[in-house]
Amino acid sequence: AQSVSQHNHHVILSEAASLELGCNYSYGGTVNLFWYVQYPGQHLQLLLKYFSGDPLVKGIKGFEAEFIKSKFSFNLRKPSVQWSDTAEYFCAVRAGTASKLTFGTGTRLQVTL
Amino acid sequence: DGGITQSPKYLFRKEGQNVTLSCEQNLNHDAMYWYRQDPGQGLRLIYYSQIVNDFQKGDIAEGYSVSREKKESFPLTVTSAQKNPTAFYLCASRGLAGGPGELFFGEGSRLTVL
């Protein structure tokens, strides 16, 4: 069964700092990869997704992620965070043609002014 | 507006009682999912359904039951057999036509067992 690891549980950054959140998965075959965000009091929203093609994926609000197959990684990046990026971020993977999505444990990002 | 509606948003229950959480979608999606969210544990899959009248257990199905009598509805019952039911429950759906797609989530139901 596939699994997803997010090693950063809680990250605190100042505004304008650069962000990189790690995500590693364990599955040797074809994968679909996702990053979701949960702002305080709001429902989970899709930030970006990778299905195939260009491994560098751009999402909403200036976020991007790079799929590195050899490292089984899909790290999320943003060059300059804003206070409004304070939220919890979840990485998720779908293995092959499976219907279910497996989520990581999440990373809580706190951006200070 | 198209979306997923979960109700109730907040629910309190006494130990030993069953409770049913509602999930309705008007996105015409084939697949529906129930996840449980606990602090520090992310989202864990309880049950999912790809078509009407069929569903599969997820990773933590014990103490839960579901039904899928209509395409747009996927209610979750938290039974008295669930040992630690206090949690935030999320319903999601996904269209299956056209290949892989992302999950769309409802706003969640927070269950507290007193």
pLDDT per residue as tens digits for the range B5-24: 999 999 999 988 999 999 99
- Region B75-96: what's the mean pLDDT? 93
d(CA B51, CA B71): 7
- Region A86-91: what's the mean pLDDT? 97
Interface mutation target, options A7, A9, A44, A47, chain B, most CBs of B under 10 Å: A44
Complete DSSP assignment for A45-78: EEEEEE-SS-SEEE-GGG-EEEEEGGGTEEEEEE
Burial class (CB in 10 A: 0-12, 13-18, 19+), B60: middle
The verdict on a CB contact (< 8 Å) between B35 and A9 is: no
- Region B27-43: what's the mean pLDDT? 93
pLDDT per residue as tens digits for the range A14-64: 999 999 999 999 988 889 999 999 999 888 999 999 998 999 999 999 999
Q: Does A30 touch chain B (CB under 8 A)?
A: no
